[in-house]
Structure 1
Amino acid sequence: MRALIIITFLFFTSAVKAFDVVQAFGRLPTMKDVQISPDGKKIAYLRENEGRYYAVGQWMDGKSKPAIFGFEESEIRGLTWASNTKILLRVSEPYYSRADFERFTLFRLGIWDIEENEITWAFNSDRFKYNVAAPALVSKILNDDDHVLLSYYYDGLGSGKQLSALYRVNLIDGDKEEVLQDKNVNFWAADDDGNPFFYRKFDKKLKKSVSMLRESGSESFKPLMTEVEGEKKIFDKAVIGLSADTDKVYYIDDGDGGVDHFFSATISNGTVDLGVVLGPVGDQSYDVSELVYDYHSSVLTGYALVKDFEEYRFLSPELAKVYADLRATFPDAEVEITSYTTDRNRFVTRVSGPSNPEQYFLFDRSAGQLQFLGEGYRVEDKSVLGHVKPFDFKARDGLELTSYLTLPKSSSGKLPPLIVMPHGGPESRDSKSFDWMRQAFAAAGYAVFQPNFRGSSGFGSAFAEKGFGEWGRKMQDDVDDGVAALVAAKVVDPERICIVGSSYGGYVALYGAVKRPDIYKCSVSFGGVSELSAMHYHAKEQLRGLEYWKKSIGDQYDYDELAAYSPLDIAGKDSAPMLLFHGDKDTVVPFFQSEKMYKKLKKLRVKGSRLVKLEGEDHWLSKGQSRKVFLAESLSFIRKNIQ
């Protein structure tokens, strides 16, 4: 039986007086990343102001003024409490390398003191100057409020090899001490005093994962072993955590169809016994989407998977009970515990669903009370939100696929026009959680179709690998087949269909307009790929991702094959009108991909096609003004073509 949770309201509530689609959805969420301090006396979150985010530290008693911090150019991407007065801010900044003639996005981690309203950078020396990724939090060190453990990487002097290191960082002045280092480490664990006792690395000589454990009372690390047919071998499974008393390891391994299975196995004298499957129990068709660690330490507390919503499975009975109560309160929404106090009495939770536009609540377990903190999108009249439901169909080769269909609330008695909205990635997936773009189009009177085509993530590696080499082929056919199934079901108007997407979804939108103008009367692309061969060169320039692109789109030297599935190369005069958006600071898909596509459309005289350059914008529509321009221009363009 689930606990009854009483909902009250706190201090972040506000509403839009008159509903307007662009104003309501074409903007950044008002607030996000809401988290509670370890002592439960303060709340931190990111607050939107004039199209960008500022970090806010707010005292719950309301007696002290909130601390507010922001940057002129850099973007704050996320935050987490490091102590009761210090917050770690994850920040990105654009960087142009004159040596490489290439633009990069660099990520950094700062220590924000909310009492002094100052930020300290622990890794600002030349050794880390050109690192692309940010330091990662390993543990907050429960028994030491003034330090945290962070992991980072650097090039070993004269070795030509990249080293991974664990640092004890002083939260007051940013001083750091290197505690441990090795090559290619991708996971660390430490005790409550900040002493590391485990790490996992990839051994390039052995070509496998090796887990290193320091047993109690020992100073040295030794590889975990396992026994196979009486012979001891290195335990090469990807260990993702240990139990609090370190007598168990947790790891993920492939089940049927390459779907992730979550295992637990006991450790005895450095040897791992046969693992027991803990999950996904009853979730055999879904991958583990996220690993959940204790908010205050490096102890693994559970995992998540995405069905219609992302759902969490907790190892701790205490956290499992809290989560179950919250899920019972919001049965048709995604519920995430973002943070909690050290005594696990007060929890901040994010609720996201068709009728929950990124809402945040504070749950007091002892009082059984839930306080509303605020929401990302201020939609006073929830009746404008579209109804989202699963829609399953079969591709032309018989492959069973899932998708989501959102129907507008308003109806003129006619079948609604359709927006086809394939996700990016392509190794990503859609769900029923709140989607601002989906709801914006639904509020404007359109049905929205979001297919999880082959190649999507979350359904096992075998399903994801079905998308390798299928850009413009079977993955594209899956989208077209889903549209055909909707038309056959007589739920949308077959004569009024437009396709909209970003990144890989932008590629699908461009390709659909070029190859199937009989289906798609118009196309909108944000940051879409138009020339496949150029992505190989871009990956080289970005110093990452070349192997992925080879698997995903094909060999870089197979020019004819790549051109045959590039919208830029195959566009013709009969292509559907295309509206292209692209940020000039995009480092994932460079701006020239849309620029060249527009020049080709202009040369072909494809009527109604335009290019909108978004100044200062990246690959993720991070600026509020960009979202407003995107949504307003897209709605105007779509109305002209299919209304």
Structure 2
Amino acid sequence: MKAQSTLSLALILAAASACSPTASLDATEPGGGGKANAQMLAKGTANPDLIPRELLFGNPDRAAPRLSPDGKRIMWLAPDEGVLNVWVAPAGKLDAGKVVTKDRLRGIRNAGWTADGRYIIYAQDQAGNENWHLHRIDPEVGASSDTDLTPNPEVRAQMVGGSREQPKFILVGINDRNPAHHDVYRMNIETGERTLVEQNDAGYAGYVSDENLELRYAYAPRPDGGIEILAPGGDKAGRGHGKKDWAPIEAIEQIDSMSTQDAGFDASGRYRYMIDSRGRDTGALIEIDTETDERKVLYQDPKAELGGVMRDAKTRKPVAVTVNWDKPRWEVLDPSYADDFAALEQVKPGNNFAITDQTREGDQWIVAYYSDKGSVSYYQYDRATKDSTFLFFINEALEGLELASMHPRVIESRDGLELVSYLSLPPSSDPDDDGVPDEPVPMVLLVHGGPWARDNWGYNPMAQWLTNRGYAVLSVNFRGSTGFGKAFTAAGDKEWAAKMHDDLLDAVDWAVDTKVTSKDSVAIMGGSYGGYATLVGLTFTPEVFACGVDIVGPSNLVTLLETIPPYWAPMVAQFTTRVGDHRTEEGRALLESRSPLNRVDAIVKPLLIGQGANDPRVKQAEADQIVAAMTEREIPVTYALFPDEGHGFARPSNSQAFNAVAETFLAGCLGGEYLPISDIGDSTLQVPAGRELIPGLSEQLDD
């Protein structure tokens, strides 16, 4: 996730809630909504045969396989005592796997081999606070060798670079000297000893290193939201001839700042790669000869941003890219790889795939296959024989279930923008699977976070959960989303609660006009920016939506920007130029006018709010203040708070608990099916307000 995306969800969140298709709170009688809300509870239908929430939102069976650099071992993530941990086995012998870590709290979600395969490094925070620490494990020893390489509890560590040439060392950014700025250290992986490489007094947002662990470039944010690229001594090759001072060599304007980024070096360090939108609308993959500054475009799509770059394991030169407009596709750049991609396409025709890992020699790959109607499956690909060997499904129990298709749709906004969207329907409502229901069904408008992110085609547990309960699900890439060119992203600048919201309203109108749903049967829900959009929906357009589910969404844009985490200080200009400047009178007035907290009196439909107490991006105060304002006005609201979560619900027990509450809420609101609340389990769910509005919730909490 990019540092700029302060509201992006790092996790898949879930929700559901309690109201009826025709009922609404009485907007003319303050506090009168309490009776109306109570009358609309549990209007849905309890159905014990629905797909269990645990199956959709619990731990995966296995996930994220990684081959050791020599290909002799394989690691993956899987539960141990109900918590995701790292497992290791000899390659080809998964059944001989042994767990090598012992996390008993949040689970490990990001781990990889060191360049020599000697150790495994994983990242972990505390209770969702996003102060990521780097841990080192010796897989031969196991959990007793677990060493926190960055043990200061207030530190947020981030990887800057690794190297095949110097496998015992990594470059790590650590903000222990100044919370706002990461200094760069060269760290010995085995001992944890570190040597200062760069003291970041200038407040650079990041650095680029090569295969020799040399810092070649730095990125400095500009007050206008643009970025300055600097090099030692101003040398364009980034080598600086031994000079320690940094000087600018080129600039990235504000409009290009989210579609231009570094893509590393080749093995020689001479050729640098970038995704670069300067002089074009979408980012092109370019190759830069750092000695001559000659630039060559390797690939560009006129409509969509590049989704990823695959590189040769030895030369580190790009060999293929993914492009994603409505569905992802591969474009092969190196003809010597054409047969490999042709072979991979035959393994699971109709599925998309991603190469997620390869050995040091590039002879063995890990390939993940994705569809919209089933679990991700992993294969090991042998490049010499062109054979693929099945490894595992992420969730084998999903195979054979009746799941919903995801249909790409392009919806035109009122001012002519193309909004790439995705529609999923309950299978029973669309027996011929053409994306058109036999008759209108209740719908959930599911709004992505970011907003500088995008929705994608593929398996989505939230969409499967909601369609299984009887709802259509529509996800819209509204203006401001990334992935569709810089002009589309820039069209969202300073349009929070304005044209960005208009796009969502236009999508609802499209769904009503095409008889996907009916006007009074649409809920809005989402996480992070999607939570903000939910609050906007219920305050700026209070009669459009039947109810809303807000997950970690900001209610006041001024307080949101005033509490940006210190380590995002270099990126403040991105927020002030794209959202509004809380430091000026004019900017503050704009932000106040776009803040749902200032329009609480307009709320006439039921609202469910979910929040993590340790969220460093959208502080708990964002939820507390709107709940307090609604309570003061006797406007019903249900508030689900998790004391051990951050920006999203990482622990499966917490995710399932919130989904149980949300599912009952939505069943009352839209009249769908639901599984009664029964799996609060060992979650830490607290409900400071509105527990009585959710049938069965008080009984579960009182047990």
**Fold-level similarity (TM above 0.5):** yes
- Of the structure 1 ranges 256-265 and 79-88, higher mean CA displacement relative to structure 2 is found in 256-265
| Cα displacement (A) at 1:566 | 1.8
Amino acid at match of 1:485: W
Matched with 2:491 is: 466
- Of the structure 1 ranges 470-479 and 72-81, higher mean CA displacement relative to structure 2 is found in 72-81
Equivalent position SS for 1:389: strand
- Identify which of 584, 589, 596 aligns with 1:567: 596
Q: How far, CA to CA, are the matches of 1:223 and 1:48 in structure 2?
A: 48
Q: How far, CA to CA, are the matches of 1:527 and 1:340 in structure 2?
A: 36
Matched with 1:167 is: 186
Whether the 8 Å contact between 1:168 and 1:179 is mirrored in structure 2 is no
Pair 328,473 (structure 1): closer, same or farther in 2 beyond 3 Å: farther
Q: How far, CA to CA, are the matches of 2:416 and 2:66 in structure 1?
A: 45
Pair 529,52 (structure 1): closer, same or farther in 2 beyond 3 Å: farther
Q: Deviations over 1:467-521 (max 9, x none)?
A: 1111111000100101101111122233311111000001111211223343210
Q: Does 1:632 align with 2:660?
A: yes
Q: Deviations over 1:582-608 (max 9, x none)?
A: 11221111122222222333333334x
Pair 585,603 (structure 1): closer, same or farther in 2 beyond 3 Å: same
Q: Deviations over 1:216-237 (max 9, x none)?
A: 9997479999xxxxxxx94668
Q: How far, CA to CA, are the matches of 2:515 and 2:276 in structure 1?
A: 42
Matched with 1:547 is: 573
Pair 410,21 (structure 1): closer, same or farther in 2 beyond 3 Å: farther
Q: How far, CA to CA, are the matches of 2:559 and 2:251 in structure 1?
A: 37
Whether the 8 Å contact between 1:259 and 1:285 is mirrored in structure 2 is yes
Pair 343,234 (structure 1): closer, same or farther in 2 beyond 3 Å: closer
Whether the 8 Å contact between 2:552 and 2:612 is mirrored in structure 1 is yes
Equivalent position SS for 1:391: strand
| Cα displacement (A) at 1:619 | 0.9
The gaps in structure 1 that reach 5 residues or longer are 1-16, 96-103, 226-232
Pair 610,217 (structure 1): closer, same or farther in 2 beyond 3 Å: closer
| Cα displacement (A) at 1:578 | 0.5
Amino acid at match of 1:254: S
Q: Does 1:388 align with 2:406?
A: yes
| Cα displacement (A) at 1:148 | 3.6
Matched with 2:281 is: 258
Q: How far, CA to CA, are the matches of 1:210 and 1:321 in structure 2?
A: 40
Q: How far, CA to CA, are the matches of 1:204 and 1:640 in structure 2?
A: 48
Q: Does 1:362 align with 2:393?
A: no
Q: How far, CA to CA, are the matches of 1:520 and 1:66 in structure 2?
A: 50
Matched with 2:547 is: 522
Matched with 1:52 is: 83
Equivalent position SS for 2:526: strand
| Cα displacement (A) at 1:531 | 1.6
Instruction: Map residues 422-461 of structure 1 onto 2, 5 A cutoff.
Output: 422-461=447-486
- Identify which of 192, 216, 223 aligns with 1:199: 216
Whether the 8 Å contact between 2:183 and 2:196 is mirrored in structure 1 is no
Equivalent position SS for 1:69: coil
Q: Does 1:36 align with 2:67?
A: yes
Matched with 2:445 is: 420
| Cα displacement (A) at 1:85 | 3.8
Instruction: Map residues 298-337 of structure 1 onto 2, 5 A cutoff.
Output: 303-313=321-331, 316-319=334-337, 321-337=339-355
Relative contact order higher in (CA < 8 Å, ≥ 6 apart): 2
Pair 345,180 (structure 1): closer, same or farther in 2 beyond 3 Å: same
Matched with 2:208 is: 187
Amino acid at match of 2:230: V
Amino acid at match of 2:60: P
Matched with 1:100 is: none
Q: How far, CA to CA, are the matches of 1:178 and 1:317 in structure 2?
A: 43
Q: How far, CA to CA, are the matches of 1:295 and 1:174 in structure 2?
A: 27
Q: Does 1:86 align with 2:111?
A: no
Amino acid at match of 1:335: F
Amino acid at match of 2:450: G
- Identify which of 262, 274, 278 aligns with 2:298: 278
Equivalent position SS for 1:34: strand
| Cα displacement (A) at 1:110 | 1.8
Q: Deviations over 1:63-101 (max 9, x none)?
A: 855133133446523011113341111222259xxxxxx
| Cα displacement (A) at 1:395 | 1.3
Q: How far, CA to CA, are the matches of 2:467 and 2:361 in structure 1?
A: 43
Pair 302,364 (structure 1): closer, same or farther in 2 beyond 3 Å: closer
Whether the 8 Å contact between 2:450 and 2:529 is mirrored in structure 1 is yes
Pair 337,152 (structure 1): closer, same or farther in 2 beyond 3 Å: same
Matched with 1:342 is: 360
Pair 166,138 (structure 1): closer, same or farther in 2 beyond 3 Å: farther
Equivalent position SS for 1:539: coil
Pair 112,418 (structure 1): closer, same or farther in 2 beyond 3 Å: same
Cα RMSD (Å) of the superposition?
Answer: 3.6
Whether the 8 Å contact between 1:148 and 1:168 is mirrored in structure 2 is yes
Matched with 1:585 is: 614
Pair 218,549 (structure 1): closer, same or farther in 2 beyond 3 Å: closer
Q: Deviations over 1:503-544 (max 9, x none)?
A: 000111121122334321011111111122210221166663
Pair 610,216 (structure 1): closer, same or farther in 2 beyond 3 Å: closer
Q: How far, CA to CA, are the matches of 2:521 and 2:209 in structure 1?
A: 53
Q: Deviations over 1:408-441 (max 9, x none)?
A: 2122953221110010000100010221111111
Q: How far, CA to CA, are the matches of 1:642 and 1:180 in structure 2?
A: 56
Matched with 1:138 is: 162
Equivalent position SS for 1:550: helix
Number of residue pairs matched by the alignment: 594
Matched with 2:420 is: 402
Whether the 8 Å contact between 1:58 and 1:67 is mirrored in structure 2 is no
Matched with 2:698 is: none
Q: Deviations over 1:236-286 (max 9, x none)?
A: 68663344445544333325663212222445xx3222x222111xx2112
| Cα displacement (A) at 1:633 | 1.6
Identity %: 22
Matched with 1:8 is: none
Q: How far, CA to CA, are the matches of 1:204 and 1:429 in structure 2?
A: 24
TM-score by length of 2: 0.76
Q: How far, CA to CA, are the matches of 1:546 and 1:246 in structure 2?
A: 32
- Identify which of 487, 492, 498 aligns with 2:512: 487
Equivalent position SS for 1:240: strand
Matched with 1:14 is: none
Q: Does 1:600 align with 2:629?
A: yes
Equivalent position SS for 1:386: coil
TM-score by length of 1: 0.82
Equivalent position SS for 1:484: helix
Pair 449,239 (structure 1): closer, same or farther in 2 beyond 3 Å: closer
Matched with 1:67 is: 99
Equivalent position SS for 1:93: coil
Pair 76,18 (structure 1): closer, same or farther in 2 beyond 3 Å: same
Equivalent position SS for 1:571: helix
- Identify which of 475, 480, 498 aligns with 2:500: 475
The gaps in structure 2 that reach 5 residues or longer are 1-47, 253-260, 431-437, 672-703
Q: Deviations over 1:1-27 (max 9, x none)?
A: xxxxxxxxxxxxxxxx98624122132
Equivalent position SS for 2:601: coil
Pair 408,633 (structure 1): closer, same or farther in 2 beyond 3 Å: same
Pair 165,315 (structure 1): closer, same or farther in 2 beyond 3 Å: farther
Whether the 8 Å contact between 1:93 and 1:105 is mirrored in structure 2 is yes
Whether the 8 Å contact between 1:139 and 1:297 is mirrored in structure 2 is no
Whether the 8 Å contact between 2:540 and 2:602 is mirrored in structure 1 is no
| Cα displacement (A) at 1:617 | 1.5
